[in-house]
Amino acid sequence: MKKLTLSLFTTGLSFLLIGCGGGTNKSTDKMSSDTIAPTEVLKAQLRSVQGKGILFGQHDALSYGIGWNAARDGIFDRSDIKTVTGSHPALFSWDLGHIDDTMNLDSVPFDSIRAYIIHAYKIGGINTISWHERNPITNENAWSKPDSTTNVHNFIPRGSKVELFNQKLDKVAAFLNSLQIDGKKIPVIFRPWHEMDGSWFWWGNDNCSHDDYKALYRHTINYLRSKGVDNMVTAYSPDRNFFTEEEYLQWYPGDDIVDIVGMDNYSDFTEHKLDDIVKKLEIVVEYAKKHNKIPAMTECGSERLAIDNWYTTNLLKVITATEKTRQIAYAQVWRNHRMEHFYVPFKGHTQEQDFVTFANDSHIMLLDKFNQFKAEK
């Protein structure tokens, strides 16, 4: 019965998407001629907001929220952010973890993710995709610890298990290539192997050398491109474990293969190290400026909003702190899954008004403001 319900829901999404087209705007129409690659359009949109506003995003925003689940409840076009503010986020985040299955690691069907991505694009949003993939050898989840630091070495060119790894990449390629409207591919931000400077993932610091990580990232992108994936803008996003540009670049796979340079950071907020966050964002922005990259706060948040009025007293404060930090193109928080694990206030939450104040700030762009900005360009 559960499989039947999901199948019917996905069919319903497809029907709704056929009739959904109001999000395209004049600015995007001008840029989206057949002579301009979709990825160049996306990069141009991200660059256009730098210094003028910061796009705000959330993971799985259309899939579920506190007290509702789109697939279970037959809901379409809902997000906790829209319920509270009247507008969806400008940036929608998804994950391809467990690409071998019909559902991802967050129990969202891949067919539904595809439908959400298409819908988000049609209404003017930007999509970003991470990949919390199982270890190809052990089949354990992304947070499992491998037996040795040579683990990742198996999956790079000439590695003993590279063909096994390529089978997963084939499925990622098939998914990314399937993101189309009327035969034209939808551009997305692809952010694999994030937070590598921490040690919680099987590709992380204690489990992988810098050189092997770079080879893993490069092989991932090059292999996907060899399979015809030409609609991804690539992102590099270590965690907070750096204080200099040299430390930030220890894992960097190269300017030729990275488009967006970002930072994930939760712990500095938890530890009230806001000045450190500002300094690190400035390092990211400075590198982006020198090397023609797009800077971003690729993940952040306060779980259960344990920090009082986190959005105005923490996030808004750091991303607007200086002229440099205001150059980031977007900031993204994690998901609203359940009462023990959420990152955006929902209707009736004590910090609901604080989030509305944050969303209405002149520096912040939710979807409605982003679409208006594009239309006025």
Distances in Å between the Cα of 298 and the Cα atoms of 119, 152, 163 are 22, 23, 30
Angle of CA points 232, 234, 240, to nearest 5°: 150
The string over 274-300, giving b where at least 16 C-beta atoms fall within 10 Å of a residue's C-beta and e elsewhere, is: bebbbbbbbbbbebbeeeebbbbbbbb
**Helix 2-18 × helix 110-122 angle, to 10°:** 20
Cβ–Cβ under 8 Å, residues 133 and 96: yes
So what's the pLDDT on residue 261? 99
So what's the pLDDT on residue 22? 40
Write out the two tokens for 199.
């040690």
So what's the pLDDT on residue 36? 86
CATH of domain 2-376: 3.20.20.80
The dihedral built from the CA positions of residue 233, 238, 239 and 245, taken in this order, carries a sign that is negative
Residue 218 CB neighbours (<10 A): 17
So what's the pLDDT on residue 355? 98
Residues in the chain with pLDDT values less than 70: 1-34, 148-150
Taking every pair of Cα atoms in the chain, the longest distance, rounded to a whole number of angstroms, is 55
Q: Would you kindly state where each structural domain of the chain is located, as residue ranges?
A: 2-376
Per-residue pLDDT tens digits for 2-21: 333 333 333 334 433 333 33
What is the C-alpha to C-alpha distance for residues 289 and 299, in angstroms, rounded to an integer? Answer: 20
CA atoms within 13 A on the CB side of 11: 6
So what's the pLDDT on residue 17? 39
